[in-house]
């Protein structure tokens, strides 16, 4: 699903310029500490649509992830591991 830059920027701001990943299989404890820069969107980070609800405009359906973590998410989703699929409301 394609995102407009306005939506992408809102998600980026929600993330506080940091990757939102909390996967236990990544090499970080808790939330990923990778700092992100807006100018590097699509190269160093991107957003993942998680399909948690039917509403594609629900911001809880999206996570801002660094490319290192983003590469691990397909295996996470295939395994059905829901533990780390915590959207914005669960992030500090």
Residue 65 and residue 62: Cα distance in Å, rounded?
A: 10
Task: Please give the model's pTM, rounded to 2 decimal places.
Answer: 0.74
Beta bridge partners of 41: 45
Work out the average pLDDT over 27-52: 89
- The residues spanned by each domain of the chain are 5-85
Percent over 90 (pLDDT), the chain = 37
Give the model confidence (pLDDT) of 43-62 as tens digits. 999 998 877 767 767 788 88
Side-chain-side CA neighbours of residue 36 (13 Å): 29
């Amino acid at each position: 699903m394609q995102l407009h830059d306005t939506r992408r920027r809102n998600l980026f701001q929600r993330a506080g310029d940091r990757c939102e990943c909390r996967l236990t299989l990544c090499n970080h404890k808790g939330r990923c500490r990778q700092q992100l820069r807006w100018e590097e969107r699509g190269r160093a980070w991107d957003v993942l649509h998680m399909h948690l609800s039917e509403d594609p405009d629900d911001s809880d359906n999206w996570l801002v992830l660094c490319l290192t973590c983003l590469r691990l998410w397909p295996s996470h989703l295939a395994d059905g591991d829901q533990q780390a699929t915590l959207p914005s409301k669960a992030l500090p």
